[in-house]
A and B are shown apart, each in its own frame.
Chain A
Amino acid sequence: MSSKPFTLGTGDLARVAVFTALIAVLGLPGALNVFGNAVPITLQTFGVMLAGLILGPWRAALAILVLYVLVAAGLPLLAGGRGGLGVFFGPSAGFLLGWLPGAWVVGWLAGRGGFVRLLAACLVGGIGVIYGLGIPVQAAVTGAGLGKAALLSLAFIPGDVAKAVLAALVAGGVRRAYPAVAPAAPQAEDSRPGAAQR
């Protein structure tokens, strides 16, 4: 793993690009309807936490930055097919902008730690940092008080805690299933296409 932020090999480049796509896909309706079609649930923050856990702080932050640029260019990559510059001005813009520092903090705290450390990293970075930015912006945009905005956000906490647990579980599973995950370039011997989908 490169420790300097701007020295990216092609392996890093490809992983960052694919994780941007992964976060986008997790927001697509139809790709994953855990609770059926009726509830519009977004797993994108789950993707943000996973990016931090698997890519490490800098590459994860870059993946989110690429997502911002593509969304700003008008591609509907956010949950519910949202895209365009409008999303950066809405009431939930702070939550969206919190993804970047959030993913960085998740990656920074997680390191190569075990399940408990991964979970703690997700809770602090994926919930603490994102809500820390999201709530004040929501309060400012809607004109409601800080306390009221925080109260409204409480409804999303249980879902996000569940996502943090899942992200830590999945990241642990990925490390066991694909040990080449730590350094970017070298590939595991078993790279038959389709082997992962069994």
Chain B
Amino acid sequence: MTGAYIPGDSVLHRLPAGAKLAGLLACCTVVVLLSSPWALAGAAAVVAALYAVSGVGAAAAWAQVRPVRWFALALFAMQFLLATPAQAVATTLRVVVAVALAGLVTVTTRTSAVMACLERVLSPLRLAGVDPVRLSLLLSLAVRSVPVVSGLATRVREAQRARGVEWSVRAFGVPLVVGALRHADTLGEALAARGFDDE
């Protein structure tokens, strides 16, 4: 997921991050507007071709779509029962295509490049009194914290299992949030020590 950048030197790798993000925006908008299953199947074929161009390999492509496999199945079943089969195919393809496209940008673009691009796009906020450097720091801290908090969640799950309170959301939530807050406060102190606090 995050930090899933796969080094390479395909056309897609060499495109600037801004172009790829703008392309993602445009493609996602088009995909949302498409309603015929045939058009969406075409879109899926285009995405598959783009993956082939990027040269990241089938395993990396599957890793991007894998998290939504159950969601896609459930969505397909629900649409199949509640609407028409064509609509079920279209809705499911739409989700998978959008996720695959976002994943393609993720694996071919360094997170630092995405952040630098966001910083440029958001710099007009300076006029509203927001410091763009702090803003991009906030964004990259959030991205960097996802794997940390995810690891924390896994450890808390294991502790829960060991204590035999697997079904208690409270025994999951309290240690997770406290752990996250501890991490945040350590992070805050480290930033202060590096002089980010002098405003």
Which residues of A are in contact with B by a Cβ distance under 8 Å?
A: 6-22, 24-25, 28-29, 31-32, 34, 37-38, 40, 46, 50, 54, 62, 66-67, 69-70, 73-77, 79-87, 89-90, 166, 169-171, 173-174, 177-178, 180-181, 184-185, 187, 191, 193, 195-198
4 additional contacts, CB 8 Å, given A17-B138, A62-B138, A166-B170? A76-B103, A173-B170, A174-B174, A178-B181
Least CB distance from A169 to B in Å reads 5
Do B71 and A80 touch (CB < 8 A)? yes
The 4 A-B residue pairs with the shortest CB-CB distance, nearest first, are A81-B67, A21-B145, A17-B141, A170-B173
Is B137 part of the binding interface, using a Cβ–Cβ cutoff of 8 Å?
yes
**Out of B32, B102, B142, B159, which one reaches A74, CB within 8 Å?**
B102
Q: B143 contacts which chain A residues (CB < 8 A)?
A: 21, 70, 75
Is B21 part of the binding interface, using a Cβ–Cβ cutoff of 8 Å?
yes
Interface string of B120-146 (1 = CB under 8 A from A): 001000000110001001110111111
Interface string of B165-199 (1 = CB under 8 A from A): 00101101111111111111111110110001101
Do A178 and B134 touch (CB < 8 A)? no
Do A178 and B170 touch (CB < 8 A)? no
Q: B178 contacts which chain A residues (CB < 8 A)?
A: 174, 177-178, 196
**Out of A13, A34, A77, A187, which one reaches B146, CB within 8 Å?**
A77
Which residues of B are in contact with A by a Cβ distance under 8 Å?
A: 1-2, 21, 24-25, 28-29, 31-32, 64, 67-68, 70-71, 74, 94-95, 98-99, 101-103, 105-106, 114, 118, 122, 129-130, 134, 137-139, 141-146, 148-150, 152-157, 159, 167, 169-170, 172-189, 191-192, 196-197, 199
Of B31, B142, B170, most buried by chain A (CB within 10 Å of CB) is: B142
Q: A70 contacts which chain B residues (CB < 8 A)?
A: 139, 142-143
Chain A interface helix/strand/loop/mixed: helix
Do B177 and A86 touch (CB < 8 A)? no
Q: B95 contacts which chain A residues (CB < 8 A)?
A: 80, 82
Do B148 and A180 touch (CB < 8 A)? no
**Out of B103, B118, B150, B196, which one reaches A69, CB within 8 Å?**
B118
Q: A9 contacts which chain B residues (CB < 8 A)?
A: 188, 192, 197
Do A29 and B67 touch (CB < 8 A)? yes
